[in-house]
Amino acid sequence: MFKAILYTQWKWSRVVVALSVVIAFALPIMSVQRAGITEPSRWEVRELLRTIEMWSVWYAVFAAGLGLLIATTAWAQDHRGRHVYALSLPIPRWQYAMLRFAAGSLLLAAPVVALWIGALLATAMAQIPPGLNAYPNALALRFALAAFLAYSIFFAISAGTTRTAAYVLAVIGALVVTQVMLQASGMYGGLVEALFDRVITWPGPLEIFTGRWMLIDV
């Protein structure tokens, strides 16, 4: 049963998975292309760190985008058929959802492993200036956690009904409207910022996205 579900999900998201494997492998290698300086000056080291830092943003964006795409493709075909087929199968709904979740997770593992290998290769090939260290394992672990987290968030939203998605959007919309009204009335307008802070700082769900995504760092 799992094999059959995995096969369908592979068929639906194989382009995304294949592309993301390539990107995941290339990203660390491209980010350290300036690291081949054997005797760098202080300015070159800083430039290197700045470059690595600039690239680090893309790891987070990539993890979030990948999670979104794999999660939505897992449910897209069922949404299109209004879930009639899925619901006529002799399997509890929670089990069906978990099988789809597990299949998506397995597919997500491919770009994660690709990024890990890419990071290991990139740091092994680059001559890292003295004083700096490579963190391929930490970066791959952070990417894995962030990608799986994004995947699980979007999967949960996709697994819901249209009404659930509407509720999520309505809550976000209400927050923005409240913020605008508070600001217009001259009252404290940091509601959205305060909530956002709670979400991105420990123990908020998105904290993993806000750490240091550095492949090479001091």
Partner 1 sequence: MSNVIETRNLRYRAGRNFEIRELSLNVPAGSIYGFLGPNGSGKTTTIALLMGQLRASQGSIKVLGQSMPEAAPRILARTGFVPERPHLYPTLTVEEVLRYHASFYQSWDWRRADELFGRFELDRSLKIAALSKGETGKLMMLLALAQNPDLLVLDEPTDGLDPVVRRAMIIAVLDYVSQRDAAVFISSHLVHELERICDWVGVMDNGKLVTEMPMQTFKSGIKRLRVTGAPALVEDPPFVLLSRDTGETLGAGEVWVVRGWQTPMQQYFEGIGASLREVVDLDLEEGFVELLRTFRTPRAQG
Partner 2 sequence: MCDRMFRTGVRGTGVAVLLACIAGTSPARLEAQDVASYRARVDSIARLWEAARESAARADSARRAAITVDTIIRGALVVMTTPQFVDVVEPAAQLAWEQLGATLREDTALMRGRAFYVVSTESEDPVPERIRREAEVIAYADGSTFEDVAMRIGQRIEIAAIADLDESTSLFFGHHVPLRPYADREWTKVYVELATAPWSLVRACYLGDLGRCAEASDVPAADDPVTEWYDAADRRRYVAADPRWYHERDPRRTQCIDAGSDRACLDLMRSLEPGELRPPLSERARRSLAVAALELGGDGAYGRMLSEASHGPEQRLMSAAGVSRDSLFAAWHARVLAAGPESPTITRVAGWTAFFWVIAFATLAARSSRWRRA
Taking CB under 8 A as the criterion, the residue among 39, 84, 131, 163 binding partner 1 is 84
- Residue from the set 42, 90, 184, 186 that interacts with partner 2 by CB under 8 A: 42
Distance CA 21, CA 120 (A): 15
At 202 the three-state DSSP class reads coil
CA-derived radius of gyration, the chain: 21
Q: Which of 18, 19, 57, 91 binds partner 1 (CB under 8 A)?
A: 91
- The single residue among 19, 46, 57, 81 that binds partner 1, judged by CB under 8 A, is 81
C-alpha to C-alpha distance for 218 and 202, rounded to whole angstroms:
24
Binding marks (x or -) toward partner 1, 24..63, rule CB under 8 A? Answer: ----------------------------------------
Q: Are the beta carbons of 104 and 186 closer than 8 angstroms?
A: no
Using CB atoms within 10 Å of the CB of residue 99, give its burial: 0 to 12 exposed, 13 to 18 middle, 19+ buried: middle
Query: For residues 118 and 114, what is the distance between their CA atoms, to the nearest angstrom?
Result: 6
- The angle that helices 136-159 and 162-184 make with each other, rounded to 10 degrees, is 110
Choices 4-12, 16-24, 57-65, 162-170 (CB under 8 A): range interacting with partner 1: 4-12
- Beta carbon nearer to partner 1, 84 or 187: 84
Tell whether residue 16 is a contact of partner 2 (CB under 8 A).
no
Task: Report the nearest approach of partner 2 to the CB of residue 183 (Å).
Answer: 17
Site map 103..132 versus partner 2, x via CB under 8 A: --------------------------xxxx
Distance CA 103, CA 25 (A): 22
Contact 107, 70 (CB under 8 A): yes
Question: Which residues does residue 216 pair with via DSSP β-bridges, in sequence order?
Answer: 134
Give the torsion through C-alpha atoms of 70, 72, 78, 79, to 10 deg. -170
Among 39, 42, 43, 90, binds partner 1 (CB under 8 A): 90
For residues 85 and 167, which CB has a smaller minimum distance to partner 1 in the complex? 85
- H-helix or E-strand containing 42? helix 42-80
Q: Of these, 45, 107, 114, 126, which contacts partner 2 (CB under 8 A)?
A: 45
Residues engaged in binding partner 2 (CB under 8 A): 39-46, 49, 82-84, 87, 93-94, 97-98, 101, 129-132, 135, 138-139, 141-142, 145-146, 148-149, 152-153, 155-156, 158-161, 163, 202-203, 205, 207-208, 211-215, 217-218
Residues engaged in binding partner 1 (CB under 8 A): 1, 3-5, 7-8, 11-12, 77, 80-85, 87-92
